[in-house]
Structure 1
Amino acid sequence: MTEFDGLPVLRSPVLIAAFTGWNDAADSASQVISHLTEQWQARHVATIDPDPYYDFQMARPTVKVTAEGVQRIDWPFSGFSAASPADADRDVVLLTGAEPSMHWRGFCEEIAEICHSLEIEQVILLGAIMADVGYAKPLPVSGTSNDPDLASRLRMEDVDYEGPAGIITLLHSTFQHIEIPVTSCWVHVPHYASTSPCPKATLSLLHRIEELLDLPVPAGGLVEQTAEWENEVTRLVEADSDIADYINSLEDADDSPGEPSGDDIARDFERYLRRRGPQADEE
């Protein structure tokens, strides 16, 4: 069940969505939603009931406890907020939350129903994957779209992939099935520098959103944070000649990927499972 906080009247709204979990290396995609929520002063619109979709032993609620007892319980959830960017002729709906543990088809259907209620006209899905890329050049953003003209304008390459999928891919399929224009964008995060946060990856996704919407997106402090991140990675790289040689070879390579390759996604999935530890083996 979805809880609405009033149903707003929106102008040609576009949905931008990202989820924490496997789809979100270094929290790069979910940080885009956090950044836009703050910059555009988005207001809460709706919350999806978490009970049908989350295993609370895996995605545990957090609590605040004082001498007077339990003061607050925060449950994992997925929520919608709406914003009216300055000088824009359309509104933006932001969706974020944790990747659900189960009932993915029902989850996607519920999101599609909410989008129908909000009269969403376009969808942008964001993800981040660890990959073999350099860090000094702009981080590549690849993607796919069911809008051929848009894909051509953004120079998206054809995709030929078979392998594990995250909730972003299933949502893309859902919107494609109901014929809503949908674009998925994946930023490639250097796997050797994938500790959260990675402001450079977040900034790369913001630039792609600007291209998709033809709308200026305020960077806030991300430019300065990116410079600090690059300086820190440089210090770490300079301390190890083998790593420096490896990264130089990546920087010299031709960085023109389409969708993340099957090998990239398989390796990223293995890394994600290792980060989760023994609990992943219990699912």
Structure 2
Amino acid sequence: MSEDINDPVTLSSLVASAPWDETVRPAIMIVAFEGWNDAGDAASEALRLIRRASGAKKIPGISDDDFYDYQFSRPQAHRTASGKRSIKWPTTHMYRAELEDSPVDLVLLRGVEPTYRWKAFISEILTRAEEENVQAVMALGALLADVPHTRPIQASVTSDDPAVRKALGVQESSYEGPTGILGVLAQVAEASGLPTLSIWSAVPHYVAQAPSPKAQLALLHRVEEFFPLTIDLEELTEDALAWERGVNELAKGDTDIAAYVHQLEQAQDETELPEATGEAIAREFERYLKRRSRPDSPDEPGGPEGR
């Protein structure tokens, strides 16, 4: 579906409306890093699904020179299909995709949070972003939080750019404290004139181990709100249901955990119930209509299920 004046404002339409005179199509860069910014691997795995859905192809990325302490970010040993031993080193990859019926491309950056020389690392990212005509940045992250696994996991959207907040109706971040590479990248990108949007999902801290499919779903639902991109979430939704059932079984076997989960449920319900709200219902309905309106939507008669 192409975007016109009657379509809701998305991040891609916002970027497309800005003046640019490059021969390379403008792009929005979505970034995620394994490590401190990525509880339950939710952000990096969400980016992997975006890459699959968009058909993004690998392009030259960021060098590995002197950015990693390999005793902290350990290389991983793998076996190839032929049984040959292979070592996978921590690194940062970039991919590019042309979104159908959109004037804006996607550039995806997925890597491991570096150990050293963060300023030089960010400088390399922004240099590559300029070469790819990146006009905005979206950062995906996940953090451990006091939230129950039995409730829908929320993903917050913030921006420090007043124009982005006004156009997209998102909030300014009020966070102060330790930050990771995403926070540094967002600040430096903003200072360099690149509008930046951050999406963070919450992961229940008592089930922090990967994977965290419900947190991935929260991130991907929000990503779909800002791009003309439909991601097949059927398998991930089934994984999220299975994950919740598994955690339920574990909680049943531990009375302390069960009582703690019940306490978190009460606290969240008391906070959200008064506003449970028209806004949340309207946002979900808008997302539903948006997915149905796309030609490749499985719910559409012309989509894969109707062909």
In structure 1, the gaps of 5 or more residues are: 1-8, 257-283
Identify the residue that residue 127 of structure 1 maps to in structure 2: 141
The Cα shift of 1:255 comes to 5.1
Identify the residue that residue 273 of structure 1 maps to in structure 2: none
Counterpart among 191, 208, 227 of residue 213 in structure 1: 227
CA distance in 2, matches of 1:198, 1:140: 13
1:148 and 2:162 matched? yes
Alignment-mate amino acid for residue 206 of structure 2: Y
CA distance in 2, matches of 1:63, 1:216: 34
Q: 1:57 to 1:195 in 2, by over 3 A?
A: closer
1:97 and 2:137 matched? no
Asked whether the 8 Å contact 1:10–1:91 carries over to 2, the reply is no
1:138 and 2:152 matched? yes
1:61 and 2:75 matched? yes
1:47 and 2:61 matched? yes
Alignment-mate amino acid for residue 160 of structure 2: N
Q: 1:179 to 1:101 in 2, by over 3 A?
A: same
CA distance in 1, matches of 2:206, 2:131: 42
Alignment-mate amino acid for residue 147 of structure 1: D
The Cα shift of 1:29 comes to 0.4
Which one has a bigger Cα radius of gyration?
2
Which secondary structure state, in structure 1, belongs to the residue aligned with residue 200 of structure 2? strand
CA distance in 2, matches of 1:164, 1:248: 30
Q: 1:158 to 1:180 in 2, by over 3 A?
A: closer
The Cα shift of 1:118 comes to 0.5
Deviations 1:166-192 (A, max 9, x none): 000000011110111101111010011
1:78 and 2:92 matched? yes
Identify the residue that residue 114 of structure 1 maps to in structure 2: 128
The Cα shift of 1:36 comes to 1.6
Counterpart among 159, 171, 181 of residue 173 in structure 2: 159
With normalisation by structure 2, the TM-score equals 0.73
The share of aligned pairs that are identical, in percent, is: 37
Alignment-mate amino acid for residue 106 of structure 1: A
Q: 1:218 to 1:89 in 2, by over 3 A?
A: farther
Identify the residue that residue 230 of structure 1 maps to in structure 2: 244
Alignment-mate amino acid for residue 180 of structure 2: G
With normalisation by structure 1, the TM-score equals 0.78
Q: CA RMSD in A?
A: 2.4
Q: How many residues align?
A: 245
Q: 1:242 to 1:63 in 2, by over 3 A?
A: closer
Identify the residue that residue 10 of structure 2 maps to in structure 1: none
1:31 and 2:45 matched? yes
